[in-house]
Structure 1
Amino acid sequence: MQERIIDIIVYLLEEFRHHHTEENYSDLSKQLMSLGYTESEIHLAFSWIFNHLQSSGNGTGEEFSYGADSNRILHDVEKLFISAEAYGYLLQLRHLGILSDFDLETVIDRALAFGTSSIEIEDIKAITASLLFGSDSGNSWEGYFFQQGNNTVH
């Protein structure tokens, strides 16, 4: 489910970036529900975005960052394992502000630690979800729970 929330976050941030108008959030929710996402997934994605925007001004202790206009280039060895599509998706997550530069490096490190011959987009989504929503992050979903058969976040 967390990978689906990542998909929603990417969709919403792309909408916010490309359509500078103040789109109605309920219209965006309806669009997402028509794409097959549940109400709880959509609410969690909105919640993550708003929480992330509020905390983005706070110091996290992660002083590592690239220059504003720079892009992380994969080393030749990293290129052997991470597909071009997965790398492009990873750059999109960074460009949208979902991942910090430090997070980008963490995802690459975890991807290489998988030990598989090829890292694809779905692998990047899973790693990103565990990084953003896992217990080792400050954005844990601890405290939220889902009732079986219910789309309400408690």
Structure 2
Amino acid sequence: MHERIVEILLLLMNELQANKQLGDIDVSSLARQGYTPTEISSAFSWLFDRLQNPQTPALKAGKADPLSHRMLHPAELSVLTPEGHGYLLQCHQLGLLSTSDMETVIERIMMAGFSSAGEEEVKSLIAGLLFDVDRTAGGSVPSLGPSDTIH
């Protein structure tokens, strides 16, 4: 479920970078794309929590140094597929991941012993990183049941 929340977060971050307000985002389009109300509420809650704290590194990441890009080591290139690497870069450019978070994801890929890490594996690792209770500000991660919503 967290992977789908990350997908919604990417959509939301893309809208925010297009200068849309959070309240102007059409939630019904997310529902039409197959996301559940719980997933949508969780994504909005996660993002709102971070927007309340502008010092949150993950929401400043894409603006830190737009001209600097990390080059992958040949060993990393042999494991991380172009799709997986592209997804990781997209998360960073949209401000969802800091440079440090990107490094953490790459390290976890290499240490996990993947023979190939594509977009799905990267999504899973990013979701684990973003929703890690010990790491998040205030330690609050929305954990909603199937019928719960945030108003």
Does the alignment reach a TM-score above 0.5? Answer: yes
Higher relative contact order (CA 8 A, sep 6+): 2
Q: How many residue pairs align between the two structures? A: 145
What amino acid does structure 2 have at the position aligned with 1:71? H
User: What per-residue deviation string (whole Å, max 9, x for no partner) do you get for residues 53-91 of structure 1?
Assistant: 23232589xxxxx74420111111100000011001101
Q: Does 1:72 align with 2:70?
A: yes
Pick the structure with greater CA Rg: 1
Partner-residue secondary structure (3-state), 2:26: helix
Alignment match, 2:32: 34
How much identity, in percent, do the aligned residues show? 37
Uncovered stretches (5+) of structure 2, i.e. residues with no partner? 59-63
Uncovered stretches (5+) of structure 1, i.e. residues with no partner? 61-65
User: What per-residue deviation string (whole Å, max 9, x for no partner) do you get for residues 110-138 of structure 1?
Assistant: 11112121001111111011111023321
Larger proportion of helix: 2
Structure 2 length-normalised TM: 0.83
Alignment match, 2:83: 85
Alignment match, 2:92: 94
Kindly tell me: are residues 125 and 24 of structure 1, through their superposed partners in 2, closer, same or farther at Cα, counting changes over 3 Å? same
Structure 1 length-normalised TM: 0.82
Alignment match, 1:63: none
Alignment match, 1:152: 149
RMSD: 2.5
